[in-house]
């Protein structure tokens, strides 16, 4: 997304924390866990809090009568508007909003992610921009045994069970982002 793209949030509306470098893009296309196409099957494997990243993923769980602990949505799928039924379902109970441009992680989205993880009930976060990369800090911040589920375009839902090993793998990926990685770690410090 170029700086003059009309869909890009105003720079004054958020504080940039990390930017995805071009050389890491292809590596992030490799799923961090097994891929499943049926939310009902995934629910059998989930034992602990569920964090969903993506409108279609969140929609599938809501349609299976399961509300995620934290759901991050942006009203888009594969860079296109989601259809009206999906949008209406996933944003019906929006609790928090955050600004997070594509290929970036903002302090705003990290703050609301942490607020959602700390909440007693379920939290839906509507992201202005793009929520895709938030799966990474969600994996780092989520408690052991939590499930982070995100979409893999044209394949299904990736299920990541949070463990120390997976968290370390994701921390290594985030270390390779451009920006203030130390500030990210300071924000996430104390989540375990």
End-to-end CA distance of the chain: 34
SS3 content of the chain, % helix, strand, coil (to 5): 40, 25, 35
Query: Which residues have a Cβ under 8 Å from the Cβ of 156 and sit 6 or more positions away?
Result: 35, 36, 37
CA distance 127 to 112: 10
- 104 annotated binding-site participant: no
Do 161 and 147 meet the contact criterion of CB atoms below 8 Å apart? Answer: yes
- 131 annotated binding-site participant: yes
- 162 annotated binding-site participant: no
- 57 annotated binding-site participant: yes
Q: Would you list which residues are annotated within the binding site for GTP? A: 55-57, 74, 131, 154
Q: Would you list which residues are annotated within the binding site? A: 55-57, 74, 131, 154
């Amino acid at each position: 997304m170029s700086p003059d793209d009309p869909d890009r949030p105003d720079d004054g509306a958020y504080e940039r924390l990390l930017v995805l470098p071009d050389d890491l893009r292809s590596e992030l296309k490799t799923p961090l866990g097994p891929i499943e196409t049926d939310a009902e099957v995934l629910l059998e494997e989930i034992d602990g809090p569920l964090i969903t990243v993506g409108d279609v993923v969140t929609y599938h769980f809501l349609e299976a009568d399961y509300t995620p602990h934290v759901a991050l949505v942006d009203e888009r799928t594969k860079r296109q508007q989601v259809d009206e039924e999906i949008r209406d379902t996933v944003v019906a109970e929006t609790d928090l909003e955050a600004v997070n441009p594509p290929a970036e992680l903002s302090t705003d989205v990290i703050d609301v992610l942490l607020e959602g993880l700390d909440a007693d009930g379920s939290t839906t976060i509507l992201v202005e921009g793009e929520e895709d990369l938030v799966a990474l800090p969600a994996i780092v911040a989520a408690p052991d045994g939590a499930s982070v589920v995100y979409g893999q375009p044209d394949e299904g839902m990736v299920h990541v069970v949070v463990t120390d090993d997976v968290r370390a793998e994701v921390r290594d990926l985030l270390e390779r982002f451009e920006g203030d990685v130390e500030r990210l770690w300071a924000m996430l410090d104390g989540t375990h």
